[in-house]
Chain A
Amino acid sequence: MKKTSLWKEDADASAYPPLQNDLHVDVAIIGGGMTGLTAAHLLAGAGKSVALLEAWRVGGGTTGFSTGNLYATVEERMHAICSKFDSETAHAVAASRTAAIGHIENLVHRLAIDCDFHRRPWRLISEIPQNNKILEKEFHACREAGLDAYLETSTPLPFDISRALRIENQAQFNPMRYAKALAAEIIKAGGSVFERTPVLRIKEGSPHSLYTENGTVTADKIIHATHSPKGVRFVHTLMGVHREYAIAVKLNSNNYPEGIFWVMSRPHQHSIRAYTDSRGESFLLVLGEPHKVGHKKDNESCFRNLEAYAGARFDVKSVDYRWSAQNYRSADGLPYIGALDEKTGVYIATGFATDGLTYGTLAAMIISDLILDNENPWAKLYDPRRHNPLKSAGRFIKENVHVFMDYMHDLPYRAEAKIVSDIRPDEGKTVVIKGEKFAVYRDEAGVLHQVSAVCTHMKCIVNWNAEAKSWDCPCHGSRFTVDGRVIEGPAMIDLPKPETGKPH
């Protein structure tokens, strides 16, 4: 079994050079996922000079660890948007997301991108009659949003269901192959792509300066296409950060259902889809088991639960892949896309929940229109400066109470292990050494990896993620490798190592 995403395995590796010199461009884009790549492609195509800076590999963030589903509806449900806002807003959400899927489809056809793009139906499924009411509510909300929705009582799935809601003409693809192809197209359009180039510091000004290890990029505009914007921003207080788990399994029957299936479960839904890779091998993907980042001790259990869930519904032959990824849920249910203020030319795209392949594309469309001074019908809807305190209050309060409680765990001279020798091989724990908190991981060979346990974003104490072997910040979702390197989230600075350079 491979501990990586199926998409990553089924796409050619990219090899763009790291930035090695100083550069001036019209637009600097931080992050090479769905959002950054699409924005870079649109802006380079419109004649702007563009540099895309990616900390690791293009597509290697959340994009390459997603499910690869493209749909006009949203994970947190259309009826929630209808009741929080109104049916006009739900209509605009569905129309904007449909336009983004259309943009992807156009590119796939125009550029002949080999990413297994197919139009497929999307289904929300209720297995038990108790869920039918919510399903019907969602059906009406989808109709109000202008989506071609139907109710049905059977699906191509091999287990019994009570009812299903179907929307035709949604889509699926391999997001990693799409991302790699977009990166190549950016170069063709005259843009630059730099991999293994984390942005370490941003100085906003005129022009903005983005500092990396071996070069500085100055730019008139910056796009934070990093899933969560970099640095300390108010928007972080508006979002809840969750990790979710995925497995790809093979079936004995070879009977892989076509389409997007969201099966309602308590407390969370499961997402199911099939995929046939470039060698002709088919897999069934099952995703779910979300939890707040840094808040689950035994997160290996999420995979066990997924396996049990899949095993109870399909004739599973083998579990071949497993991976996890992170998402950011906005306070009011809509993402934050656009300029941070009128003047500075700093743009963000975040709060996509698990709908960000489509929202990321939409964000790129909106932001490039803003930069190119084009009208965009949806710019106002998703404007990050929108004021709707009543719609945001519930999640805002809930998330910030969580953050406060996380800070309250930071007691003086208290940590998970008393001394480093208490930490067993392949275990990570916090330890207090000379009054300071360290995050210490002992690898399987017994070697200690020791870094500060204080998150460099807003100084929460990081928690060990046993599944991903990373240090995860429970407050705003920054994640770090065992050697302290930023993996994702708002932090830009690595966790410092002890001053001696040696483990204590």
Chain B
Amino acid sequence: MLISAIVLFSLAMLLGIFLLTFVLRGKHTPKAVAFTHGPLAAAGLVLLIAYAFQHRPAPIESLLLFAVAALGGFVLIAIDLTRTSVPKWMAVLHGLIALTGLVLLLRFAFL
């Protein structure tokens, strides 16, 4: 379960980096990528929550960070669809929070 979550988050991260290149250049984000990135990360989060319910110790820090990143993701997609452009700082912050969550998760799983 943990490994599956890591795989899903990693795929989401790759797509997220790809999306970030569009946001930082002030370009329209391809929505097929945005709408794949979100569900991948959401599926990872669901697996992580399930893992946390079933195992002790659980990666609570990364779970919390991913939850915050998910909320940020909702805000970002809402802004992306309804306003002219996504604030770059917000996209970078969302990415950094998720990345920290992934690093902590990797440390929890493998160290």
- Bound pair: A and B? yes
B49-81 vs A, CB cutoff 8 Å, 1 = contact: the mask equals 000000000000000000000000000000011
Residue of A435, A454, A459 most packed against chain B (CB within 10 A): A459
Whether B27 pairs with A407 at a CB distance below 8 angstroms is: no
Report the nearest A residue to B33, measured CB to CB: A412
Interface size class, chain B: 10 to 19
Across-interface contacts of B35 in A (CB, < 8 A): 404, 407-408
Contact of A232 (CB < 8 Å), options: B18, B30, B33, B82: B82
A459 and B81 in contact (CB under 8 A), knowing A412-B18, A435-B25? yes
Whether A410 pairs with B27 at a CB distance below 8 angstroms is: no
A184 interfacial contact with B, CB 8 Å: no
A11 interfacial contact with B, CB 8 Å: no
Across-interface contacts of A180 in B (CB, < 8 A): none
B4-43 vs A, CB cutoff 8 Å, 1 = contact: the mask equals 0000000000000010001001011011111100000000
Determine how close the nearest CB of chain B comes to the CB of A407; give it in whole angstroms: 4
Across-interface contacts of A407 in B (CB, < 8 A): 31-32, 34-35
Across-interface contacts of B25 in A (CB, < 8 A): 435
Across-interface contacts of B33 in A (CB, < 8 A): 411-412
Whether B32 pairs with A408 at a CB distance below 8 angstroms is: yes
A409 interfacial contact with B, CB 8 Å: yes
A459 and B27 in contact (CB under 8 A), knowing A232-B82, A412-B18? no
State A435–B32 Cα separation when bound (angstroms).
Answer: 15
Across-interface contacts of A408 in B (CB, < 8 A): 31-32, 35
Whether A436 pairs with B30 at a CB distance below 8 angstroms is: no
Across-interface contacts of A412 in B (CB, < 8 A): 18, 30, 32-33
Across-interface contacts of B22 in A (CB, < 8 A): 435
Whether A437 pairs with B32 at a CB distance below 8 angstroms is: no
Determine how close the nearest CB of chain B comes to the CB of A263; give it in whole angstroms: 40
Across-interface contacts of A232 in B (CB, < 8 A): 81-82
Determine how close the nearest CB of chain A comes to the CB of B15; give it in whole angstroms: 10
Whether A410 pairs with B80 at a CB distance below 8 angstroms is: no
Whether A411 pairs with B30 at a CB distance below 8 angstroms is: yes
A425-462 vs B, CB cutoff 8 Å, 1 = contact: the mask equals 00000000001110000000000000010100011110
A383-419 vs B, CB cutoff 8 Å, 1 = contact: the mask equals 0000000000000000000001001111110000000
State A454–B34 Cα separation when bound (angstroms).
Answer: 15
Whether A435 pairs with B27 at a CB distance below 8 angstroms is: yes
Report the nearest A residue to B34, measured CB to CB: A407
Across-interface contacts of A458 in B (CB, < 8 A): 81-82
State A436–B27 Cα separation when bound (angstroms).
Answer: 7
Report the nearest B residue to A411, measured CB to CB: B32
Contact of A410 (CB < 8 Å), options: B18, B31, B82: B31
Across-interface contacts of A461 in B (CB, < 8 A): 31
Across-interface contacts of B80 in A (CB, < 8 A): 459
Whether A410 pairs with B30 at a CB distance below 8 angstroms is: yes
Whether B27 pairs with A460 at a CB distance below 8 angstroms is: no
Whether A409 pairs with B27 at a CB distance below 8 angstroms is: no
Report the nearest B residue to A231, measured CB to CB: B82
State A312–B28 Cα separation when bound (angstroms).
Answer: 49
Whether B28 pairs with A436 at a CB distance below 8 angstroms is: yes
Whether A409 pairs with B81 at a CB distance below 8 angstroms is: no
Contact of A459 (CB < 8 Å), options: B18, B28, B32: B28
State A191–B35 Cα separation when bound (angstroms).
Answer: 47
State A404–B80 Cα separation when bound (angstroms).
Answer: 15
Determine how close the nearest CB of chain A comes to the CB of B55; give it in whole angstroms: 34
Determine how close the nearest CB of chain A comes to the CB of B30; give it in whole angstroms: 4
Across-interface contacts of B31 in A (CB, < 8 A): 407-408, 410, 459-461
Across-interface contacts of B30 in A (CB, < 8 A): 410-412
Report the nearest B residue to A404, measured CB to CB: B35
Across-interface contacts of A410 in B (CB, < 8 A): 30-32
Across-interface contacts of A409 in B (CB, < 8 A): 32
Across-interface contacts of B82 in A (CB, < 8 A): 232, 458
Report the nearest B residue to A452, measured CB to CB: B28
Determine how close the nearest CB of chain A comes to the CB of B102; give it in whole angstroms: 23
State A461–B31 Cα separation when bound (angstroms).
Answer: 9
Across-interface contacts of A460 in B (CB, < 8 A): 31
Determine how close the nearest CB of chain B comes to the CB of A463; give it in whole angstroms: 14
Residues of A459-497 whose CB lies within 8 A of B: 459-461
Q: List 26 A-B contacts (CB under 8 A).
A: A232-B81, A404-B35, A407-B31, A407-B32, A407-B34, A408-B31, A408-B35, A409-B32, A410-B30, A410-B31, A410-B32, A411-B32, A412-B18, A412-B32, A412-B33, A435-B25, A435-B27, A436-B27, A437-B28, A452-B28, A454-B28, A458-B81, A458-B82, A459-B31, A459-B81, A460-B31
Closest 10 CB pairs of A and B: A407-B31, A412-B30, A410-B31, A232-B82, A411-B32, A408-B32, A454-B28, A458-B81, A410-B32, A410-B30
Residues of chain A whose beta carbon lies under 8 Å from any beta carbon of chain B: 232, 404, 407-412, 435-437, 452, 454, 458-461
- 5 new A-B contacts at CB < 8 Å, known A232-B81, A435-B27: A404-B35, A407-B32, A407-B34, A412-B18, A452-B28
